[in-house]
Structures are given as structure tokens and as C-alpha cells.
Amino acid sequence: MNDFILHNPTKIIFGKTAMQKIVEHLKPYGAKVLLTYGGGSIKKNGIYEKIIQQLAGFTVQEFSGIEPNPRIETLRKGIEIARAFQPDIILAVGGGSVIDGSKLIAAATYYNGDAWDIVTNPDLNPSKYIPLATVLTLAATGSEMNRGAVISKWETHEKPAFGRNELYPVFSICDPQNLYSVPKDQTAYGIVDAYSHVLEQYINTTLDAPIQDRFSEGILLTLIENALTAIQEPTNYTARANVMFSATMALNNLIGVGVNQDWATHQIEHEFSAFYDIPHGAGLAIITPRWMEVVKDYKTAKFIQYGKRVWGISGDDEDIIANAIQKTYDFFASLGIKMSLKEWGIDNAHFPEMIQRLAGKAGKEKPLTAHEIQTILNNCL
């Protein structure tokens, strides 16, 4: 096991009664709330109304329109609003994109320069971070309980991740009922995202960290067991709750402590969605099995463990690995996800550029070569 620091100050308020507790947890931070959200779906499903009613005693400024794969161009407007309003706290209502975008607002409002500097330079810090709280409306990224965010710059097709310890949300309201109106495809993409977060931290060469391994396998199994129900019965509380809790635990500095992490799949996907604006989870579903084929030869022991423990496969080692990769593919396909780029209308036109950006950089355990990335991309077509 590698040395590590395990620390997560976020308070998760989970369950059927969580929405009634917003005021109680918000109050200690002050009276001025910057309410951030996305394209307005929270106005259709009633979540906006519930929150606004509770915020009667606060001074509220809104900033809406944070899009999926949130863009620096949009967020700069939010930062201007925050600079003028000077909120005591930001309340981000949405999924990973809204929360990620709000993290940048929290970080850049008191930074004397352009917000993109904060994203690209991990050593830059503002004079002050605005405390961030969230109301989660999509189970996927884990952003409600972690320090990271992914921001897109559309003009240059960049989509880097950034993070600061100060950006752990101070609290997150996780009511599984808030997922009831999430469409089937978004539910499926969220499940793939969470599943992929686990694989990035679990499929490694670290073989002496059984707690982390078994926690990872527990999350994967829970996602597998609850995915179809969550998609087919959108108001099934238990399925929604287990998917929601899985997604939070998949990326909150728990299963990844003390082990080698990889993140090649995410790095490749960020190139996809920087060029094509394909949903993040959709890209991950396509890349993951193809990435597995390329790295199975050096992460062998963990692939065998994954096959046995998560998919219950027995047989000789080679069969187990082949089967485990196929089962992973089949699982994503069973959620109704398109499993090739062609189905998204994407061809290989941008592959050379992607390969150039990723070669020698994608994959923390052992960076992928240009040839390996080429193989993965070709197999995604």
C-alpha cells in the first residue's frame, strides 16, 4: 500500500428528508446565497420551487445556464455576477457540470485575473474561496463530495481537470427522489461515469490494498445490481438511492487512497467531448472496453480479480480476462448506450490531433504510447 492522506470534510445529507434541511445547514455561512443551476430542468421538476421556498429568509442572486461540459466562456459571466454580489455561499443545484462550474466560480471570484489561470495552474490560489454547497440532481461525477472539477474551453477544444482542497463542498443535499425525473439516457451515462471512476482507481498493479479493492468491487456490484432498475423504474427509491450513494463513494478520495490510479479512459474521453460534445458517460462506455484490451497484459492480476469477484467468472486466466472485458461491454450496452463512435456520427478526422495530445500522457500507471492510443481509438469507431 502506498502512503496516503485520507481526508474529506464534506458533509453528505442523504435521504428522503434531506431537502428539508437546506436552511439549517446553509444558515451558519451567512445570508447572501448565489444560487447556480443549469438549463432550467429544475424549474420543470419542482426542485427549484422547493429550494426557493426555503430560501425566503436569504438574499438570493441567481446564475443559471451552466451547460453540460461547463465552459469557461459561460463561467466568466457567473464570476462577474459573484464579484458584484459577494455571496457568503454558493448553492449549486444540479449534476456534475453545474457543481464543477460552480467550483470555478467559488475559486475565481477573489482571484485577481482570468479564471482559466486557476484551471491550468495548480499553484495559483485566490485570496479567498467562497464556500460551496450543493443540491445534487444527477448521480454521476461525485463532484458533490470531492475537490475536483472539469472545465471546457470550447474555442481551443481543451477540457482540463483542476482541483483545490478548498473546493470540497461544505455540504451536499443528496435526496434520491431528486433523481426521479432524470431521463433514461442520462441515468445510464451517470452509472457509466461512476463505474469508470471506480475502474480508474481499481484496475491497477497495486495488489496489497484489499480494503480499497473490496470497497471498489462493492461499488461496481451495487451499480450492476441497481442500474437496470434505476433506468426502467425511475421512481424506485432503493435503486436510485443505491446508485446515488455509489456515485458519491466512487470518487471521494476513499477507494483511491494508497493505490496507483490510472485515469487514461477519462483523459481519452475528455478529448472526445472537447471535440464533439458527446455526453461524458457515453464516451466512457465506448472507450473503457477498448482501453481494457490494451492494458490487460500488464494489469493482469487485477483483471483476473475483477472477473472473479465482480462478474463471478471462473476458468483459466485468459478466459477470465476476455470474459470480464466482454461482460463490461455487455453491461454498458444493456443500459441502452451506443457502443461505437459511428453511432454518434463521429469519424477518425480528429484522431491524429487527439493522439498527439494524449501519447505518453494518458494513463498514470504506465502512459499509453501513440500506437496504443491509435489502437484504442480505431476500435472505438
Q: Residue numbers of the site for a copy of itself (CB under 8 A)?
A: 1-18, 208-211, 213-215, 217-219, 221-222, 225-226, 238, 241-242, 245-246, 249, 257-258
* Alpha carbon distance 235, 239 (integer Å): 8
Q: Residue 219 Cβ, how far from a copy of itself at the closest point, in Å?
A: 7
* Alpha carbon distance 245, 44 (integer Å): 24
Q: Phi first, then psi: what are they for 144, rounded to 5°?
A: -65, -15
Per-residue DSSP letter, 154: G
* Cα angle 101, 104, 108; round to 5: 150
Whichever of 137 and 374 has its CB closer to a copy of itself, that residue is: 137
C-alpha separations of 222 from 140, 204, 249 in Å: 14, 21, 11
* Alpha carbon distance 337, 51 (integer Å): 33
* Alpha carbon distance 236, 231 (integer Å): 9
Q: In what order do the strands lie in the sheet with 132-136?
A: 59-63, 32-36, 89-94, 132-136, 171-174
Q: Phi first, then psi: what are they for 204, rounded to 5°?
A: -145, -175
Q: Residue 221 Cβ, how far from a copy of itself at the closest point, in Å?
A: 6
- Provide the β-strand partners of residue 158: 153
Instruction: Decide: 270 and 153 in contact? Cβ < 8 Å.
Output: no
Whichever of 163 and 367 has its CB closer to a copy of itself, that residue is: 163
3-state secondary structure of 62: strand
* Alpha carbon distance 198, 219 (integer Å): 8
Whichever of 114 and 233 has its CB closer to a copy of itself, that residue is: 233
98 C-beta neighbours (distance < 10 Å), count: 28
Q: Residue 238 Cβ, how far from a copy of itself at the closest point, in Å?
A: 5
Residue partners of 45: CB distance under 8 A and separation at least 6: 178, 180, 181
Q: Residue 258 Cβ, how far from a copy of itself at the closest point, in Å?
A: 7
Q: Residue 298 Cβ, how far from a copy of itself at the closest point, in Å?
A: 21
Whichever of 226 and 265 has its CB closer to a copy of itself, that residue is: 226
Q: Residue 172 Cβ, how far from a copy of itself at the closest point, in Å?
A: 9
Whichever of 145 and 188 has its CB closer to a copy of itself, that residue is: 145
Whichever of 222 and 326 has its CB closer to a copy of itself, that residue is: 222
Q: Residue 101 Cβ, how far from a copy of itself at the closest point, in Å?
A: 24
Residue partners of 94: CB distance under 8 A and separation at least 6: 36, 37, 38, 42, 66, 134, 135, 136, 137, 138
Q: Residue 131 Cβ, how far from a copy of itself at the closest point, in Å?
A: 15
Q: Which of 354, 284, 265 is nearest to 140 (CA)?
A: 284
Whichever of 159 and 164 has its CB closer to a copy of itself, that residue is: 164
Whichever of 18 and 337 has its CB closer to a copy of itself, that residue is: 18
C-alpha cell at 95: 449534476
Whichever of 17 and 112 has its CB closer to a copy of itself, that residue is: 17
Q: Residue 165 Cβ, how far from a copy of itself at the closest point, in Å?
A: 10
Q: Residue 107 Cβ, how far from a copy of itself at the closest point, in Å?
A: 21
Whichever of 31 and 207 has its CB closer to a copy of itself, that residue is: 207
* Alpha carbon distance 187, 192 (integer Å): 9
